Chains A and B, each alone.
Chain A
């Protein structure tokens, strides 16, 4: 099974400042079609998960451009350029190259 390890697990942030979350995979995530199915999800308190980024760096519909994804191989990063109050949430990386697995989640708090 593919294991995703996120760091940090808790991230105190300052409004208007940048924030970054890392996700490391136990193995490469390139699928047979050449794509890498690494996504980032946001889960606000009491809400279901919401897709932010798919295939490493593609922003999903309606996602603000302050969110960006990068990485390759086994190391991936989610960046928030300027944190806003509504970004308080738990963020998960998710791989769908081999079934699906999730990172442990990173709690972003002001």
Chain B
């Protein structure tokens, strides 16, 4: 069974940082391009960014609203995906999903508020 399990969400003040994690099981993680997708409360889905496999070059791409503030990384030996979020803004509030774009985790809630 494929499972993607996110963790690390919580309440953080504007300007603060947070690191999200996602552990994968049931998939060949090292062969998967991994994505982060977020959903603001009551809103639609927004792609945050992705990381290619190491064999494909490991390139990271980001959506414009998060470029320069968020960093995606992976640790294939542990089947782990990470999202380092710095300089957080209130607009970053939402549920963050780890996804292969075919499989989705349950999400972790990030709230940016003073």
Contacts and interface: CB of A to CB of B under 8 A. Distances in A.
Given A48-B105, A48-B107, A54-B102, A100 B50 contact: yes
Contacts of A105: 44-45
Majority SS of interface residues in chain B? strand
B45 A49 contact: yes
A11 B8 CA distance: 36
B45 A96 contact: no
Nearest to B44: A105
Interface residues of A, number: 20
A102 B47 contact: yes
Q: Which range holds the interface residue count of chain B?
A: 10 to 19
Interface in A92-110: 92, 94, 96, 99-105
B106 A48 contact: yes
Given A39-B101, A48-B105, A100-B101, 19 more contacts: A41-B45, A43-B45, A48-B97, A48-B107, A49-B37, A49-B45, A49-B99, A49-B104, A51-B101, A51-B102, A51-B104, A92-B44, A99-B61, A99-B63, A100-B35, A100-B50, A102-B44, A102-B46, A103-B44
Interface of B: 35, 37, 44-47, 50, 61, 63, 97, 99, 101-107
11 contacts: A48-B97, A48-B104, A48-B105, A49-B97, A49-B99, A51-B101, A51-B102, A54-B102, A94-B101, A100-B37, A104-B44
